Amino acid sequence: GAGVSQTPSNKVTEKGKYVELRCDPISGHTALYWYRQSLGQGPEFLIYFQGTGAADDSGLPNDRFFAVRPEGSVSTLKIQRTERGDSAVYLCASSPTRLAEGSSSYNEQFFGPGTRLTVL
Amino acid sequence: QQQVKQSPQSLIVQKGGISIINCAYENTAFDYFPWYQQFPGKGPALLIAIRPDVSEKKEGRFTISFNKSAKQFSLHIMDSQPGDSATYFCAAILSGGSNYKLTFGKGTLLTVNP
């Protein structure tokens, strides 16, 4: 079946503009994650959705960043007043059913190819 | 503060050789340690993973060695092939309520020469 898809694959914008990045998770996956991967770095956690709600948004760097998942499937990461430092690859991942609180299991996260954002 | 430290930054190995990538962590609450493989233009893909109650896990040519007392773990790729050329990330996950948040190392760019 289809994996996680992200659009656009590349986005070039000017400083101060608003951008939206879209993620289509694997069908049936209830959990969705956004990560940011800067050049030469590993991905860094931004936000985690369980269904429609943001269960953990502690990784969002500031209030210019916002993400939604209104129907519990597709998610959009929104960045206002973009800055050059926002340039990075934004990765989306999804995983199947929710784990119980405190579970010792790990739900594999399946990553999309990412959106490369360049802020000029 | 970088919670998972990875080395080397880059590695060149001849075909058939052994590739070794090392990682160290500080937080003893981490209880799951996956390795991811990333090809250019693609997202990371889970390669192999280990829990701290196991000292070694092998899957095909890939082996994780884990040293809980030293808070270190490593990936060994036996009989390295040109198709293994990619960036490898070690990662860690906390136990308990945050068992979804991957903390990645900075990555190792592996090049396997034919």
The predicted pLDDT at position A108 comes to: 84
Q: Do B31 and A48 touch (CB under 8 A)?
A: no
d(CA B35, CA B49): 6
Q: Do A106 and B107 touch (CB under 8 A)?
A: no
Q: Beta B62-67 vs A31-37: how paired, if at all?
A: unpaired
Q: Which of residues 53-92 of A touch B (CB under 8 A)?
A: 56, 59, 91
Burial class (CB within 10 angstroms; exposed 0-12, middle 13-18, buried 19+) of A115: buried
d(CA A77, CA A47): 10
The predicted pLDDT at position A1 comes to: 56
Task: Report the chain A residue with the minimal C-alpha distance to residue B104.
Answer: A42
The predicted pLDDT at position A96 comes to: 83
Query: Between A42, A102, A113, which is nearest B41 by CB?
Result: A113
Give, as one character, the DSSP assignment of residue A100: P
Tens digits of pLDDT across chain A (120 residues): 589 999 999 999 999 999 999 999 999 899 999 999 999 899 999 999 988 988 899 999 999 999 999 998 999 999 999 999 999 999 999 998 665 555 555 678 999 999 999 999
The predicted pLDDT at position B97 comes to: 63
B66-92 per-position pLDDT tens digit: 999 999 999 999 999 999 999 999 999
Task: Report the chain B residue with the minimal C-alpha distance to residue A43.
Answer: B104
Contacts of B53 in chain A (CB under 8 A): none
B15-55 per-position pLDDT tens digit: 999 999 999 999 988 889 999 999 999 999 999 999 888 99
- B102: number of Cβ within 10 Å: 24
**Residue of A53 and B12 predicted with greater confidence:** B12
In terms of Cα–Cα distance, which of B84, B85, B88 is closest to B107?
B88
Contacts of A33 in chain B (CB under 8 A): 100
